[in-house]
């Protein structure tokens, strides 16, 4: 694996949504437009600092107490509407819930993510070695985003017109923390197809965090990323739909969800780091199709295929969709057998979204070689 960039910053809201909001000139959306412009400016500064130290980040030494592997180690801080990190500490591991819903949601979301990765995949926190999980809430004034900055989760409160507070969705918290997991494993470059895979992997495990917490099967789950983020004024249910990319919102203000669900709709663009939030709909749908084909709980067989691929040796920083498809197919074959249900589901899913060529028939299960017939003894001379 490549050495991780310790300060990669990945936001949950794609820039094209904020750009659209920033251009609004209707008086009734003045608050949302001003918030979007300020958020874009903040995010632009963050992107320019990718790979460097955040100007307001705290990276001081921290004495870590003895802990049992798998136990959560969470700290929640409050930025009090400022843009300084980490802010003042308001809740630590084991402390009771308070009255601030953002603090409680962040604390619970960090714990739910740790629980999924530890109980299902044996991964102890973001780095696999018990890294403390830190978050800051109430970042900035009406900040319309949430991000992982390489060290901590950071949540804005939203503008109140278009966006609610960003701690409201467990899938958002799981999504952003998974950027940290990717940072410490495949470390996919945040540009073009590798960047879209980076985003998709975060969507996959963000969805699995929410499903695992709610004990939802594949059929019961919504497969929405960021459900609850939009206010009632928006004609939309979430930022993205993994089940049906391009259907999460269709609003007079935000426009229609532009995500493609297959390679026929792949978007070539220089914006959004080469369309990382747009084209992630393609691998997102591939994962959903695998889960839908296999049924049951998506964090089991499909989740193990994606997780083992992420931590394995089949990826590098520049891996594209085709490389990831091949790696997941290899993982499925290794874990569940060549030609087995999981292997065929993976192959079919990537073919359905147009990443690999369609196969005319499923790969037949591998059969053991027939036993060698016994050699007849030679007649006596």
**CA 157 – CA 136 distance, rounded (Å):** 11
**CA 249 – CA 256 distance, rounded (Å):** 6
Residue of 175, 179, 277, 343 marked active site = 277
The tokens describing 190, both together, are 């945040």
Alpha helices for the chain (secondary structure H): 15-22, 30-48, 101-121, 170-183, 192-214, 272-275, 281-294, 301-311, 321-336, 341-352
CA atoms within 13 A on the CB side of 180: 30
Residue of 163, 130, 160, 129 lying closest to 146 (CA atoms): 163
Residue of 176, 199, 210, 227 marked active site = 176
Q: Is 93 a catalytic residue?
A: no
Q: Is 176 a catalytic residue?
A: yes
Exposure class string for 194-210: b at 16+ Cβ within 10 A, else e: bbbbbbbbbbbbbbbbb
How open is the CA angle 116-120-126, to the nearest 5 degrees? Answer: 50
Active site members: 176, 277
């Amino acid at each position: 694996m490549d050495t991780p960039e310790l300060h990669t910053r990945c936001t949950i809201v794609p820039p094209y949504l904020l750009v659209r909001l920033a251009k609004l000139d209707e008086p009734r959306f003045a608050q949302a437009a001003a918030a979007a412009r300020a958020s874009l400016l903040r995010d632009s500064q963050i992107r320019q600092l990718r790979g460097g130290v955040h100007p307001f980040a705290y990276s001081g030494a921290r004495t870590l107490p003895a802990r049992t592997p798998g136990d959560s180690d969470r700290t929640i801080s409050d930025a009090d509407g400022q843009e300084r990190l980490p802010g003042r500490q308001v809740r630590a591991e084991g402390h009771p819930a308070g009255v601030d819903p953002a603090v409680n949601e962040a604390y619970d979301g960090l714990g739910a993510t740790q629980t999924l990765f530890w109980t299902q995949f044996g991964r102890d926190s973001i780095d696999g070695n018990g890294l403390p999980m830190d978050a800051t809430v109430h970042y900035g004034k009406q900040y319309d985003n949430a991000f992982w900055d390489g060290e901590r989760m950071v949540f804005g409160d939203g503008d109140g017109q278009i966006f609610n507070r960003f701690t409201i969705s467990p899938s958002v918290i799981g999504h952003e923390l998974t950027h940290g997991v990717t940072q410490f494993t495949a470390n996919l470059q945040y540009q073009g197809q590798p960047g879209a895979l980076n985003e998709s992997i975060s969507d996959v495990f963000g969805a699995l965090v929410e499903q695992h917490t709610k004990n939802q099967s594949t059929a019961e789950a919504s497969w929405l990323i960021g459900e609850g983020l939009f206010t009632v004024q928006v004609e939309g249910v979430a930022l993205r739909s993994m089940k049906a990319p391009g259907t999460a919102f269709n609003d007079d203000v935000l426009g229609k969800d532009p995500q493609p669900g297959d390679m026929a709709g792949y978007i070539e663009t220089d914006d959004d780091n080469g369309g990382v939030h747009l084209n992630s709909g393609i691998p997102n749908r591939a994962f959903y199709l695998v889960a839908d084909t296999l049924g049951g709980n998506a964090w089991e067989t499909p989740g193990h295929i994606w997780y083992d691929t992420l931590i394995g040796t089949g990826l590098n920083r520049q891996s594209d969709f085709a490389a990831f498809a091949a790696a997941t197919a290899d993982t499925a074959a290794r874990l569940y057998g060549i030609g087995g249900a999981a292997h065929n589901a993976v192959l079919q899913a990537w073919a359905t979204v147009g990443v690999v060529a369609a196969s005319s028939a499923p790969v037949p299960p591998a059969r053991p070689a027939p036993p060698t017939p016994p050699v007849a003894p030679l007649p006596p001379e």
